[in-house]
């Protein structure tokens, strides 16, 4: 994580914390994939506040009714 933060700083890229703050201010809904979290050993309590967790099927059902962006 530290190497990634340093690379972002060197390239003048906004930090993840700042991006999450901007998303919150803009009303963006962030949904983390439960299967990916399980594979990577990430627990829901390790996520930033206001990040939802859902499975792929739930996400796709929600996404089909909204203007959303899928980031992989």
pLDDT tens figures, 25-64:
999 888 898 999 999 999 999 998 889 999 988 877 877 7
DSSP 45: G
> How far is the first Cα of the chain from the last one, in angstroms, to the nearest whole number?
18
The span from the CA of 67 to the CA of 62, in Å, is 10
45: Cα separation from own chain's centroid = 14
Full-model pTM: 0.69
CB atoms within 10 A of CB 58: 14
Q: Which residue has the tokens 């700042």?
A: 18
Which of 9-13, 58-62, 65-69 has the weakest average pLDDT?
65-69
CB 61 within 8 A of CB 54: no
Query: Does the pLDDT value for residue 2 go beyond 90?
Result: no
């Amino acid at each position: 994580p530290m190497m990634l933060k340093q690379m972002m700083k060197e390239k003048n890229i906004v930090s993840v914390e700042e991006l999450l703050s901007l998303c919150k201010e803009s009303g963006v809904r962030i949904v983390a994939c439960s299967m990916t979290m399980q594979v990577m050993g990430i627990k829901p309590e390790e996520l930033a506040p206001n990040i939802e967790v859902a499975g792929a099927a739930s996400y796709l059902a929600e996404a089909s009714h909204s203007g959303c962006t899928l980031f992989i």
